[in-house]
Structures are given as structure tokens and as C-alpha cells.
Structure 1
Amino acid sequence: MFLGTHTPKLDDKGRVILPAKFRQELEGGLVLTRGQERCIYVFSMREFERVHEQIRQAPLTSAGARDFLRLFLSGASSEQADSQHRVTIPANLREYAGLGRELTVIGAGSRAEIWDTAAWNEYYAAKEADFASTTEEVIPGIF
């Protein structure tokens, strides 16, 4: 499970060292793809296969499902960390997420997310107060 907030740096070759706590989960390979709110989703290969199978269940007659599938998969890149635990983020994904040198990598349970630090700070500032004052059930069965 991916948890926590980490602040690695993007090197000049577009590589990032993913947090040590995430390495065991990702040792079988990983998939990077576009995420919502202009971040990059990081899935273990196993979790990406599970998510892909769920997506495949969507009806082909659904324009929204087709659109999502196209954007989600066309941006996906299968990667393997090198011996120094660095992962290359493809240029198209770095551009999509507006990544600079300063990154924030967050754990989001079944995936990690890579954010440009300024974008993460802006998102966090906008959402934290809403989170702290949540008074209704947002996710069924939780709280």
C-alpha cells in the first residue's frame, strides 16, 4: 500500500528516485500514466493489470468510457527502476503534469501520485479545509 508524502527531485534526465517505502511494491515493474488533476499515477504492474481489467468491462457504446480509456492508456508507460532506484518519467507525462525539478510524491493507497510541488501545494491548500470539515459520507461506509 502506498502511504505518505515525499519530496524527491527530478534530475536533468527526467528521472526520479521513488520513496524507499514504495520499492517493494514496485519491484515487479510499474506503470506511469496520466492522472486526474494533472498528476501522474504510479501503479505496480499487478495493480495496473487489475485496473485495466475493470476498465475493459465498460461498454464500448459509452463515449465517456472510450474517451477515458484512450487518454488513460495512450499516456501509459511501462517502466522499471534502475539499480539506483531511479525511474524515468517520459517527456509527455512530465509535460502533462507540468513537472519542474521539485516534486511531491504521495501515497494514495493502491497507487502513488507524482505532482509538481507547486501544483500539489495549491491543490492541498484548496482541499484541506473541505476535508477537515467534511460532515457527510463522501465514501459509502467510511466514517
Structure 2
Amino acid sequence: MIGFLGEYEATLDSKGRFLLPGGLKKQLPEGENRLIISRGIEKCLTLYPIKTWESIVEKLIKLNDFDAKVRQFKQRFLGGATEVEIDSAGRMLLPPSLKEHAGLTKDIVLACDLDKIKIWDANEYKEFFDKLSPEDFSKLAQDVMVGDGISLS
């Protein structure tokens, strides 16, 4: 897998379900209909394929629970993490507490992030990009990519 790519719009129904867009469904591993959903670092939700989640859990287990920052991070990151399933109609149900946490209303955006998929309220997603000017993005790219010795060209 080269990673999840693209942005997809979807609409939540009154029960908190949405139809997983076909272009995104094609990118899931063959036969994969179970994912883990949790709070995102930003004001969004994050969907993880099971294998990606298992790799994260392996790292989290190794952290020192006697460190208060570790406990705080794990509680925030793992709190509400839930296994969700794509039903036979291709829909996914969002847990109400997570939906509320991300401020999801009716229109959502599923934004791919290589090994995971972020679920944003459509307005929040637009604001996220509106806040960063092209100049600020250029500086951010310089700091992140060049600082790590990576070139995009």
C-alpha cells in the first residue's frame, strides 16, 4: 500500500452514519471492514486500519506509565477509541461522544493521511487550511522537510 490518498466529502445522517466514499473504500486493504476510530490530535477524528492501530499499540505499551505526561497522553489518545465496522450498505456509524468531540455536524470531510484517515467537520477543515498562508506553509515545509534532510524535488 502506498498510503491513503485524497479528500472525500460525505454527509452524516440523523443516526451519525455516513457512506464511505467508493474511492476511499477501494484503498482499504482487501476485505477490511473493521477500523479503529479515536480522537484526533487536531479537532477531528482519526480512522486507523487494524494493522496500523496494532503498530501504535505496540509503541504505547512500551511507554512508562509512571510518567504523568505518558498517562495524560494515553488517556486523551485512547479515551473513546472504538472499533467500528463498515456495514453491508457501505456505511459507518460514528460513536456519539467522538462525533461531539470533533464537532461534526452534517457535512464532513474524510482527509487521507497516508496510514490513517482523518474525519473533519467540513467547516473546521476549511478553516484549518484558511489559517495557513502560502508563505507560512512554505516556511513550515522548510522547517519540517529540510530540517530532516528530506527534499520534495
TM-score by length of 2: 0.85
1:136 aligns with 2:142: yes
* Cα deviations by residue, 1:48-97 (Å, 9 ceiling, x for unpaired): 11111111221122211111111221210101100111010000011000
Moved segments of 4+, more than 4 Å: none
- Counterparts of 1:53 and 1:19 in 2: how far apart (Å)? 30
- Number of paired residues? 143
Backbone CA RMSD of aligned residues:
1.7
Query: Structure 1: which amino acid aligns with 2:150?
Result: I
TM-score by length of 1: 0.91
Instruction: Output aligned runs, 1:1-143, within 5 Å.
Output: 1-24=3-26, 25=28, 27-129=32-134, 130-134=136-140, 136-139=142-145, 140-143=148-151
Once the two structures are overlaid, the 10-residue window that deviates more, 14-23 or 92-101, is: 14-23
Which consecutive unaligned segments of at least 5 residues does structure 1 have? Answer: none
Query: Structure 1: which amino acid aligns with 2:4?
Result: F
Identity of aligned pairs, percent? 30
Which consecutive unaligned segments of at least 5 residues does structure 2 have? Answer: none
Once the two structures are overlaid, the 10-residue window that deviates more, 97-106 or 12-21, is: 12-21
